[in-house]
Amino acid sequence: MAPRSFLTLHDIDVDQWPAVFDRTAILRVQRHDKTLAGKTIALVMEKASTRTRVSFEVAAYELGGNSTHLSASGTQIGRGEPAEDTARVLSEYCHAIVLRTFGQDRVETFQRWATIPVVNGLTDLHHPCQVATDLFTVRERFDQIDGLRYAWIGDGNNMANSWIEAAGMFGLDLVLACPAGYDPDATILATARGEQARAGRGSIEVVRDPRDAVRGAHVVNTDVWASMGQEEEAAKRRVAFAGYCIDDKLMGLADQASIVLHCLPAHRGEEITGDVLDGPRSLAWRQAGNRLHVAKAILEYVLPS
């Protein structure tokens, strides 16, 4: 049987997600189990990471397993060893690979050549572990994920794409406010809209004015304006994204019970003010904490006992 990988949110069937979230909630309270006993998770980080790396390391430990971290610069990966070879070799030692990298094609190559599950720890196109955590955090607060209005403010990046995928799968109402030229991936958008049309529920809109996205929203979400790999565009992006900062005035348009999410790291004063990020509507810290428990539930899903 092919290993169960997790490269995008669709790799866990829509009917399976409630069980994954239920298990996450149990693990949040219980913390430890033995479901990964004797197993080692390889964490291949070709980009920087704090939350993804540490949450998966601690997740492996709390489930009775082990982890090993590989950065590009400290291993043969950085000297050009092909993905095909790295995937095959890690499959000889480890039981799953969490990979953070650039192109989605690279996680797909790892998946093709590995004989163990591969988990997408962020690519330029998707960030499924984070958006799974966002959904879990919403569910904790509202006891539901559908029937709410979601706003995305800022870049149409990997996070936005995975949110669109979630909206397609779960029939969510999502409005994204992105500056012209920074729209989300057109194929992911078309696929998600098609899924919603077939299911007859949910809507996904891309608008230019953040106020049109935030008005009446229950969940307001954002991310940095320049993602990893786009550092040289930071100055240009600061100009393009002026007016896309989530501040108290913008939040005044949201639903009274609204929450603010941010996957972190944040740039206070750019995509979000310090007042909002550190304020009462922000669940960013709970959300960051939840990464650990979602990581455990995902590892259990790809490595069933």
Q: What is the DSSP letter of 10?
A: G
- Least separation in angstroms between residue 224's CB and ligand NVA is 5
Between 249 and 268, how does the x/- string for binding to ligand CP read (CB under 6 A)?
--------------xx----
Which helix (DSSP H) or strand (DSSP E) does residue 276 occupy? helix 274-277
Q: Which of residues 212-251 bind ligand NVA (CB under 6 A)?
A: 223-224, 227-228
30: left (phi over 0), alpha (psi -120 to 50) or beta: alpha
Q: What residues are labeled active site?
A: 100, 127, 130, 223, 263, 291
| Residue 126 engages ligand CP in binding (rule: CB under 6 A) | no
- Give the alpha-carbon dihedral of 49, 176, 182, 271, to 10 degrees: -50
CB-wise, 113 or 129, nearer to ligand CP?
Answer: 129
CB 303 within 8 A of CB 39: yes
SS3 state of residue 69: strand
Which residue sits closest to ligand NVA, CB atoms considered? 227
The contact pattern for ligand NVA, residues 259-278, with x = CB under 6 A and - = no contact, is ----x---------------
- C-alpha–C-alpha distance, residues 84 and 160, integer Å: 29
Shortest CB 259 distance to ligand NVA, Å: 19
In the region spanning residues 33 to 52, those forming contacts with ligand CP, defined by CB under 6 A, are: 49-52
Q: What does 159 interact with, of ligand NVA, ligand CP, none (CB < 5 to 8 A by kind)?
A: ligand NVA
Q: Is residue 209 classed exposed, middle or buried when 0-12, 13-18 and 19+ CB atoms within 10 A define those classes?
A: exposed
Choice between 67 and 158, CB closer to ligand NVA? 158
Decide whether 185 or 195 has the Cβ nearer to ligand NVA.
185
Which residues are paired to 220 by β-bridges? 151, 260
